[in-house]
C-alpha cells in the first residue's frame, strides 16, 4: 500500500519506519528542510513511563494561578483574553481531577512502556548512539508539592513501575552535584527511565528508514487532505498527490488538516521552550536526568552539553521568546547545578506542540477509512513516538495491536468526531 506520512518529526519518522517494516511503500512529507525541525527539536529529553505524565495533574492549575505574577512560572501567558485558550484551559482543568488524571496516567503509562521497549530494541538492533543516559529523578522542593504528587505515586505503584522515593539526603547522595542551597523535600528516582538527544535519534532513524525504501520530501507544505474512494488526495504546494492512505503526524499543524475534513479536535497549540549550553565544569554537572516538579522543567546531560526543556506559553502564535519562560529555564539550571554551565548565555529555542486536554495522544483511524492520525503528544512526543508509530502501523496494516489501544483512539470522543 502507498502510504503518505505528513510530518517529519520524531512521531512521523517512527511511523514511517514501522510502516516500512510492515511492507508498505512510504513517503514522508515535511514542510521544513530536514527532520526534527519543530517540536522534536526541543521536546523533553525524558524517556520512560515513570517520567511522563499528563501535563495537568491535580493542583497544577492552582499552582499556575498562584505564580501568575511571579518572574518564573511553569506557564507563561501571552494573551489573557483569547477565548480558544480559556476554553482549552477549562477542559484541561477538568482532566486534572484525581479520577480523570488516574485514567489518563494509566493510558499514558501503557503507551510509554510499550514505546520504551521498542526504543531499546531500536537502539540495540541498529547500534544507535543518541547520547542516551539511564536514570531519571523528579525533585520536589516542598512538602506541598510532594503531597500534590500522591496521585502520580499511586498510579506508578499500581502500574508496577520501579521507583524509589528518597529524602533530601539520599537524593543528594545519588546526585552529589545538586546544590545544597536549593530547598529539597524529596526526590523520586526512576532507575529504568532514561534520556537522550531526540533530534539526533530522528536523523539516525531517517537514514535507517531510507535504507528500507522510505522517501522523504522536504520543503513541501500540505494545504489540504481530501479522502477519496479507495484512496486519498493531498494538495501539496499547489499540486495534487495521491496515496492509498495517509497518516497525519504533523504536530501542531494536525488540527488544521483535520478541520479541513470536518474533524474538530480539542487540541491547542502550546509553545514550549528549551535551552542548550556547553558544560563548563563536568564534575558539577548532573549524572541522571532531573525533572523539577514545581516548574515542570527537565534538565539533562547530553554529551558535552546540558539541555533544559519545559515551560509552556499559552496564547502565542509566533516564535518570539517570552522572557518569563527564559527566566524559568535559567532558574532551574542555577538552582540545581549552578556551577555546571552559564545558563544565561545558552541557546534558547521555542516551538509549538499539539496538546490535548487529557495529555494523551490520539492514534489510529478516523471516520475516513484511509485517513489515520498520530498526534496530540504534547511535549512528551519523544517518549511516546516509537510506541505510537508502531501502533498506527499495525492498525493501518490490519494487524492486531500489541497493546490495548483503549483510550488512545478517536473513539474516546464518541460520536463527536466519528
Task: Report the distance separating Cα 143 and Cα 412, nearest Å.
Answer: 35
Cβ partners under 8 Å of residue 282, min gap 6: none
Q: Is residue 34 in a domain? A: yes
**Within-domain flag for 110:** no
Give the closest residue to 297 by CA, choosing from 275, 269, 270. Answer: 275
- State if pTM tops 0.85: yes
DSSP per position, 373-405: EEE-BGGGHHHHHHHHHHHHHHHHTTPPPSS--
Indicate whether 367 and 285 sit together in one domain. no
Q: Are 353 and 103 in contact (CB under 8 A)?
A: no
pLDDT of residue 68: 81
The answer on 175 and 77 residing in a single domain is yes
Query: What domain range includes position 339?
Result: 55-97+132-193+268-355
Report how many domains make up the chain.
2
pLDDT at 416: 56
Cα dihedral across residues 266, 269, 270, 274: positive or negative: positive
| Mean pLDDT, 10 residues at a time, the chain of 418 residues | 97 98 98 94 85 84 84 88 87 91 92 95 96 95 93 84 94 97 97 94 98 97 92 92 96 94 92 96 95 94 95 90 96 98 96 93 95 95 96 97 96 72
Q: Are 152 and 230 members of one domain?
A: no
* One domain for residues 392 and 276: no
User: What CATH number is associated with residue 93?
Assistant: 3.30.9.10
User: What per-residue confidence (pLDDT) applies to 159?
Assistant: 80
Q: Does residue 25 sit in the same domain as residue 161? A: no
Q: What's the pLDDT score for residue 418?
A: 45
Q: Which residue has the cell 492512505?
A: 245
- End of a domain among 313, 338, 355? 355
**Which pLDDT score, from 0 to 100, does residue 260 have?**
94
pLDDT of residue 415: 62
Choosing from 355, 388, 408, the residue where a domain stops is 355
Amino acid at each position: 500500500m502507498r502510504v503518505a506520512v505528513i510530518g517529519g518529526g520524531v512521531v512521523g519518522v517512527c511511523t514511517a519506519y514501522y510502516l516500512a517494516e510492515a511492507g508498505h511503500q512510504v513517503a514522508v512529507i515535511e514542510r521544513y528542510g530536514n527532520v526534527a525541525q519543530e517540536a522534536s527539536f526541543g521536546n523533553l529529553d525524558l524517556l520512560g513511563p515513570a517520567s511522563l505524565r499528563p501535563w495537568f495533574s491535580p493542583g497544577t492549575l492552582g499552582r499556575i494561578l498562584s505564580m501568575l505574577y511571579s518572574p518564573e512560572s511553569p506557564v507563561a501567558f501571552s494573551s489573557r483574553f483569547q477565548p480558544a485558550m480559556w476554553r482549552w484551559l477549562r477542559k484541561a482543568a477538568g482532566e486534572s481531577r484525581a479520577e480523570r488524571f488516574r485514567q489518563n496516567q494509566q493510558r499514558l503509562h501503557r503507551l510509554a512502556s510499550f514505546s520504551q521497549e521498542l526504543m531499546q530494541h531500536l537502539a540495540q538492533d541498529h547500534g544507535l548512539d543518541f547520547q542516551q543516559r539511564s536514570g531519571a529523578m523528579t525533585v520536589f522542593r516542598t512538602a506541598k508539592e510532594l503531597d500534590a504528587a500522591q496521585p502520580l505515586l499511586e498510579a506508578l505503584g499500581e502500574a508496577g513501575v520501579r521507583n524509589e522515593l528518597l529524602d533530601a539526603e539520599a537524593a543528594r547522595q545519588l546526585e552529589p552535584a545538586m546544590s545544597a542551597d536549593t530547598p529539597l523535600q524529596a526526590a523520586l528516582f526512576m532507575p529504568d527511565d532514561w534520556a537522550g538527544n531526540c533530534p539526533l535519534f530522528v536523523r539516525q532513524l531517517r537514514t535507517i528508514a531510507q535504507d528500507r525504501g522510505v522517501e522523504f520530501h522536504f520543503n513541501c507544505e500540505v494545504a489540504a487532505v481530501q479522502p477519496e474512494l479507495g484512496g486519498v488526495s493531498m494538495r501539496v504546494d499547489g499540486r495534487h498527490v495521491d496515496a492509498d492512505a495517509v497518516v497525519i503526524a504533523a504536530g501542531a499543524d494536525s488540527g488544521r488538516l483535520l478541520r479541513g475534513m470536518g474533524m474538530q479536535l480539542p487540541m491547542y497549540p502550546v509553545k514550549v521552550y528549551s535551552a542548550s549550553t556547553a558544560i563548563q565544569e563536568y564534575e558539577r554537572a548532573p549524572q541522571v536526568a532531573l525533572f523539577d516538579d514545581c516548574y515542570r522543567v527537565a534538565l539533562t546531560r547530553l554529551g558535552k552539553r546540558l539541555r533544559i526543556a519545559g515551560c509552556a506559553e499559552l496564547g502565542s502564535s509566533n516564535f518570539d521568546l517570552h522572557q518569563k519562560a527564559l527566566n524559568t529555564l535559567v532558574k532551574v539550571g542555577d538552582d540545581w547545578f549552578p556551577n555546571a554551565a552559564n545558563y544565561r548565555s545558552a541557546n534558547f529555542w521555542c516551538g509549538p506542540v499539539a496538546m490535548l486536554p487529557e495529555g494523551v495522544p490520539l492514534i489510529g483511524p478516523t471516520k475516513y477509512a484511509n485517513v489515520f492520525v498520530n498526534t496530540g503528544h504534547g511535549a512528551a512526543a519523544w517518549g511516546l513516538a516509537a510506541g505510537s508509530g508502531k501502533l498506527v502501523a499495525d492498525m493501518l496494516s490490519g494487524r492486531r495491536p500489541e497493546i490495548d489501544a483503549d483510550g488512545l483512539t478517536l473513539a474516546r470522543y464518541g460520536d463527536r468526531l466519528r
